[in-house]
């Protein structure tokens, strides 16, 4: 048996080292002889002739001459890493510098071909594509043959079922034999997997025929047989370590569940039970199988919910949806406890909660509110108590909160109150989530609160614009406007407080301060207009109430500008932002006074608004001038820069 190339290289290097040592010893012996011959000749004595050494070692030098030191070479049995090459001798004394051994430069490996250009050269890709396509075509062919046999009345029903069963079992047996041969040859076994999946799909068709077509067995027996086929297929997939086969089994179950049962509710229950049974496989082995099975279960439950009739069928869908919703976070929590939280687990958590939210809204109003409230409470508890990695973005926390946050938003829509209160309800939900985010110091809650706040403010915008219209305010109830304004102001304050409680959101504090001030003042103006409209209805003078509300709103804006300016002049933290915001708000208040209040207000309220705003502007000017004078007096003689944090 020939040696490997590496061993051959080492042997050649050892032989080269031995040869170099022999040459060096010969050279040293010749140098010694040359010195012995040269010294007597220089003294006029006859030159003795020295015999050459008979051994391969170096010759002994004459008395009085130092013995040349041999170079330190490793023994021949251990090949050296570097080989010294002697240089030619210069002058009367040998000079043997050590040079590094010659090392051939490794050639760069050839660049692999592009993935787009070489996909057709990979055996696994082609075999997988052809195998899946062949399985689908074969399954369609079996289905067409079964339909044609029934339509043309070929054979007897017993013979049809027997032939279908024999063909399916034969395909499964052929798949086992083919896999054994491919596995021994070290080739991809995708063709065997596709063949086995086709055989199991044929068995599902046989169960479908004896259950729904010929009515030989009741529905529960057909479901039991289909479950047995599914269990055998999953066990085979686990034994073969084939996630593809398991996924094909799940797809077949999802496609044939509705024709097998004839009812969407029963089909959804069957698919969900199979999905829950596969949960241990999802956690321990295959993530893509979990995505596939939970996606099919979610679709089946959504179809069942849309088709469910009120009564027992609707409650069956509700119970099955609750089971699916419990299984999804359970799988993700099990992954998190094993330290392997993944994107598949997050997808499963989000998808499993959708049927519960949809089914809950189908019930009557108070029942739907109770189911959604339960979803919100259970989801928040799962977020607080579930073990997870909270240091790297907390994606699991974001996923777990999707169901409770959406449940709170839907709760506003299903409660039995007029649609005019929806804006106030959404603002209240956003404020509640902001409060929880600040209290728990939870960034996922803060993110969902920001999303809810954005949606609530967009919904509130038409109501805020309607508060400037006299007919719109006087023609509707003032209470929704009052609640929306107060909740908007409270939401602005809670959002600002929650931001200060979270360490990673400090960079967004300055822009959030501006937005919070604007939203809060807009909410206070809406509340002032609603209060004025309420007082006008009490005194039978709605117009006076509307004008007084807007006048009070303008004064509130100006007072807020004064407070911000004083705070900016006396506080070092965010001083420049406070002053700029105060001056900008004062400009907006003056613009509203001249562009809107001058035309919309009348009587004493118009004059009062101008007088109060004017006095506040004068006071602001005096305060600002005094602050600048104090800052100039405090400035050091050699300091050309203004004091930081103060104007």
Select the highest-mean-pLDDT range: 30-44, 116-130, 144-158.
30-44
Residues in CB range of 82: below 8 A, 6 or more apart: 100, 101
Share of the chain above pLDDT 90, in %: 9
Q: What is the pLDDT of residue 575?
A: 59
Q: How far apart are the first and last CA of the chain?
A: 91
Q: Comparing 560-564, 570-574, 621-625, which segment has the lowest mean pLDDT?
A: 570-574
Q: What is the pLDDT of residue 123?
A: 47
Q: How confident is the model at residue 232 (pLDDT cuts 50, 70, 90)?
A: confident
Q: What is the mean pLDDT of residues 241-255?
A: 80
Q: What is the pLDDT of residue 456?
A: 92
Longest dimension (CA), the chain: 151
Q: What is the mean pLDDT of residues 116-144?
A: 56
Q: What is the pLDDT of residue 270?
A: 85
- What is the rounded CA–CA span in Å between residue 335 and residue 638? 65
pLDDT in tens, 205-225: 888 888 877 788 888 888 888
Higher pLDDT pick, 30 / 56: 30
User: What angle do the packed helices 287-307 and 312-337 form, to 10 degrees?
Assistant: 160
pLDDT in tens, 486-524: 999 999 989 988 888 887 766 677 788 888 888 988 898
Q: What is the pLDDT of residue 89?
A: 45
Select the highest-mean-pLDDT range: 129-138, 561-570, 631-640.
561-570
Q: What is the pLDDT of residue 115?
A: 46
pLDDT in tens, 56-115: 444 444 444 444 444 444 444 444 444 444 444 444 444 444 444 445 555 555 555 444
Q: How confident is the model at residue 41 (pLDDT cuts 50, 70, 90)?
A: low
Q: How many CB atoms lie within 10 A of CB 470?
A: 14
Q: How confident is the model at residue 451 (pLDDT cuts 50, 70, 90)?
A: very high
Q: How confident is the model at residue 549 (pLDDT cuts 50, 70, 90)?
A: confident
Q: What is the mean pLDDT of residues 474-494?
A: 89
Mean pLDDT of all residues belonging to the chain: 75
**Token output for 434:** 């902001």
In the three-class reduction of DSSP (H, G, I as helix; E, B as strand; rest coil), residue 100 is classed as coil
């Amino acid at each position: 048996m020939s040696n490997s190339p590496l061993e051959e290289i080492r042997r050649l290097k050892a032989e080269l080292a031995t040869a170099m040592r022999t040459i060096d010893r010969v050279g040293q012996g010749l140098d010694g002889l040359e010195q012995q011959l040269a010294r007597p000749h220089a003294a006029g004595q006859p030159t003795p002739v020295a015999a050459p050494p008979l051994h391969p070692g170096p010759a002994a030098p004459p008395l009085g001459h130092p013995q040349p030191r041999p170079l330190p070479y490793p023994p021949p049995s251990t090949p050296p890493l570097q080989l010294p090459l002697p240089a030619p001798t210069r002058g009367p004394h040998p000079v043997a510098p050590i040079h590094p051994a010659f090392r051939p430069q490794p050639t760069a490996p050839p660049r692999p071909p592009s993935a787009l250009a070489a996909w057709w050269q990979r055996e696994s890709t082609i075999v997988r594509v052809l195998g899946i396509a062949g399985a689908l075509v074969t399954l369609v062919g079996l289905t067409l043959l079964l339909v044609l046999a029934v339509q043309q009345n070929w054979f007897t029903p017993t013979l049809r079922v027997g032939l279908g069963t024999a063909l399916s079992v034969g395909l499964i047996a052929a798949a086992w034999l083919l896999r054994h041969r491919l596995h021994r040859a070290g080739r991809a076994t995708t063709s065997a997997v596709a063949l086995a999946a086709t055989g199991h799909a044929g068995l599902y068709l046989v169960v479908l025929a004896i259950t729904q077509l010929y009515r030989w067995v009741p529905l529960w027996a057909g479901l039991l047989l289909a479950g047995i086929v599914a269990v055998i297929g999953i066990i085979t997939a686990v034994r073969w370590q084939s996630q593809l086969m398991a996924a094909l089994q799940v797809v077949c179950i999802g496609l044939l569940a509705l024709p097998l049962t004839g009812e969407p509710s029963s089909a959804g229950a069957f698919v969900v039970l199979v999905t829950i049974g596969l949960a241990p496989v999802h956690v321990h082995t295959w993530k893509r199988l979990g995505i596939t099975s939970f996606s099919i279960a979610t679709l089946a439950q959504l179809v069942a919910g849309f088709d469910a009739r009120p009564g027992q069928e609707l409650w069956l869908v509700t119970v099955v949806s609750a089971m699916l919703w419990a299984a999804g976070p359970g799988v993700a929590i099990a992954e998190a406890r094993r330290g392997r939280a993944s994107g598949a687990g997050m997808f499963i958590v989000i998808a499993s909660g959708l049927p519960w939210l949809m089914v809950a809204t189908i019930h009557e109003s108070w029942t739907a509110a109770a189911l959604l409230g339960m979803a919100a409470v259970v989801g928040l508890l799962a977020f607080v108590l579930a073990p997870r990695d909270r240091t790297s973005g907390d994606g699991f926390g974001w996923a777990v909160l999707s169901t409770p946050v959406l449940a709170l938003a839907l709760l506003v829509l299903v409660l039995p109150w007029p649609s005019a209160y929806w804006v106030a309800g959404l603002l209240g939900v956003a404020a509640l989530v902001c409060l929880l985010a600040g209290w728990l110091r939870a960034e996922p809650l803060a993110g969902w609160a920001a999303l809810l706040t954005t949606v609530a403010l967009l919904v509130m915008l038409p109501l805020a614009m309607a508060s400037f219209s006299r007919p719109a305010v006087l023609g509707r109830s003032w209470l929704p406007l009052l609640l929306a304004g107060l909740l908007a102001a409270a939401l602005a304050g809670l959002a600002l407080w929650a931001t200060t409680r979270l360490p990673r959101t400090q960079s967004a504090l300055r822009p959030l301060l501006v937005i919070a001030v604007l939203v809060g003042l807009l909410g206070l103006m809406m509340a002032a207009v609603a209060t004025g409209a309420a007082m006008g209805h009490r005194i039978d003078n709605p117009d006076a109430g509307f004008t007084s509300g807007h006048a009070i709103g303008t004064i509130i804006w100006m007072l807020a500008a004064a407070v911000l300016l004083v705070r900016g002049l006396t506080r070092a933290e965010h001083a420049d932002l406070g002053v700029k915001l105060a001056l900008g708000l004062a400009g907006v208040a003056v613009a509203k006074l001249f562009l809107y209040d001058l035309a919309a207000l009348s009587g004493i309220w118009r004059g009062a608004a101008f007088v109060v705003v004017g006095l506040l502007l004068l006071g602001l000017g005096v305060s600002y001038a005094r602050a600048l004078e104090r800052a100039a007096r405090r400035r050091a003689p050699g300091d050309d820069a203004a004091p930081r944090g103060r104007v």
